[in-house]
Amino acid sequence: MDRQSKTLEIMRRIGAPKPEKIRITGILQSPELSSLTLLLPGGNSDSSAAVLKLLGTQSINIRFINKYKDSAGNTSLCICIDAEFLDAALNLLDVNEKSLGVRDFMYHPRVKVISIYPHKERPRIAERLLTTLRMNGIYILSVNNASSVISCVLNAEDVENALARLGDAFELP
Amino acid sequence: MGVTETLEIFPLKILRDLIQINFLRLPTRPGATRPLFDLLERHNVSVKFLLEGCAGDFNRDLIICVTNDCFSRLEPELKEVTTRMQAQAVELRRSVAVVRVLGPHFDIRPGTSGLLFGALEQAGITVFSIATTITSSMCIIPDDQLEAAERVIGRTFDIPKKK
């Protein structure tokens, strides 16, 4: 049993009291996507804009972006694209790997973005979302807030379970 | 490129004089971020920007932005919270702004993100972080580059004048 599973098991046995549901307006689910995470050289100017432009030239649709500088000073760029364009994107990045300076690269072929709204910058919505999913052993690939929603990228096979668990944590109209 | 016409967007939403707090290499265990979110909730702090990404070895990086005023309420407890979260490092970036671009359908128009961030890059604007979902894209830039960024975005998209 790995460390995370042990923690989950202990928490289940302890049986933490069930918190009151938080009222929200809705949960959105994206179509099936693929996620690509690239590690790019850091610095104030990096090649993330070049990656986005490159995908745009091939009409590859980007539905989710997370970019930030990690602790090692690299730029981490996570994007979600329509799943049918995964091969085209991989080929494109492969051909341009050197010029973009890609240091590391991984992808998940089948993911979905789940968005909860309204978020309204409230910390407890984010906390409930992350804790609910992780308590139920659902791996979260990426999280962000943009405008009035908070979104997370999940493996597509986890989405049904995630929606059921979120239905226990949030009150929908 | 998928985008040829000038796309119309809503007036920009700009939040300036913020502090970016990076909690680096947090464990993935459930509830790891709870001490932070409890602290924010207790002090009634709005999270202006939030992003979490994979930091390798089952660790996560969490980035938030709050106002300067809110940060002064959080600061006395930040060290203790960082320890409880088991973050391996915490970094602060002061004097940043969050710019929200809403409306050009990032989700269904290929090339829109490249258009926006390509233009900002070409103009020499430093973009520390990006969070894009559905029809909205938010980015963190230095406060002192805000006016230049507004001009660039105004040239790239069609922004109706505020009434």
User: How many residues in chain A?
Assistant: 173
B2 contacts A65? CB cut-off 8 A: no
The pLDDT value given to residue B56: 75
State yes or no: pLDDT of A104 exceeds 80.
yes
State yes or no: pLDDT of B139 exceeds 90.
yes
A57 contacts B1? CB cut-off 8 A: yes
Q: How many CB pairs under 8 A join A and B?
A: 199
Closest-CA residue in chain B for A136?
Answer: B30
Lowest mean pLDDT: which of A17-26, A46-55, B12-21? A17-26
Whole-complex ipTM: 0.91
Contact A158, A138 (CB under 8 A): yes
Name residue A70's amino acid: D
Q: How confident is the model at residue A44 (pLDDT cuts 50, 70, 90)?
A: low
> Is beta strand A22-23 parallel, antiparallel or unpaired with respect to A170-171?
parallel
Lowest mean pLDDT: which of A26-40, A90-104, B49-63, B143-157? B49-63
CB atoms within 10 A of CB B29: 17
**Chain A residues lying within 8 Å of B109, measured CB to CB:** 61
**Chain A residues lying within 8 Å of B112, measured CB to CB:** 56, 62
B106 contacts A143? CB cut-off 8 A: no
Distance from CA of A63 to the nearest CA of B (A): 4
The pLDDT value given to residue B129: 95
Contact B97, B142 (CB under 8 A): yes
Distance from CA of B115 to the nearest CA of A (A): 7
Q: How confident is the model at residue A81 (pLDDT cuts 50, 70, 90)?
A: very high
The pLDDT value given to residue A9: 63
The pLDDT value given to residue B7: 84
| Lookup: tokens for B99 | 């710019």
The pLDDT value given to residue B26: 93
Please tell me the CATH superfamily of domain B19-93, with its number: ACT domain (3.30.70.260)
CATH architecture assignment, domain B96-156: 2-Layer Sandwich (3.30)
Distance from CA of B150 to the nearest CA of A (A): 17
Percent of chain A with pLDDT over 70: 89
Percent of chain B with pLDDT over 70: 95
Cα end-to-end distance, chain B, whole Å: 33
Q: How confident is the model at residue A5 (pLDDT cuts 50, 70, 90)?
A: low
The pLDDT value given to residue B120: 95
CB atoms within 10 A of CB A39: 18
State yes or no: pLDDT of B163 exceeds 60.
no
The residue assigned the tokens 């990426």 is A142
| Lookup: tokens for A165 | 């668990």
Q: Is B103 left (phi over 0), alpha (psi -120 to 50) or beta?
A: left
- The torsion angles phi and psi of A22, rounded to 5 degrees, stand at -100, 130
The pLDDT value given to residue B4: 56
Domains of chain A: 3-7+20-30+111-171 (3.30.70.260), 34-109 (3.30.70.260)
Q: How confident is the model at residue A15 (pLDDT cuts 50, 70, 90)?
A: low
| Lookup: tokens for B34 | 């709870």
Percent of chain B with pLDDT over 90: 74
Instruction: Taking residues B147-160, report their average pLDDT.
Output: 92
Q: Where are the domains of chain B?
A: 19-93, 96-156
Instruction: Taking residues A103-107, report their average pLDDT.
Output: 93
State yes or no: pLDDT of A2 exceeds 60.
no
Lowest mean pLDDT: which of A6-15, A137-146, B52-61? A6-15
| Lookup: tokens for B77 | 């407890």
Q: Report CA Rg, chain B.
A: 17
Closest-CA residue in chain A for B52?
Answer: A143
Contact B116, B24 (CB under 8 A): no
Quote the CA–CA distance of A45 and A64 in Å, as a whole number.
Answer: 21
Per residue, the 3-state secondary structure of chain B, as one string, reads: CCCCCCCECCCCEEEEEEEEEEEEEEECCCCCCHHHHHHHHHCCCCCCEEEEEEEECCEEEEEEEEEHHHHHHHHHHHHHHHHHHCCCEEEEEEEEEEEEEECCCCCCCCCHHHHHHHHHHHCCCCCCEEEEECCEEEEEEEHHHHHHHHHHHHHHCECCCCC
User: How many residues in chain B?
Assistant: 163
Distance from CA of A30 to the nearest CA of B (A): 9
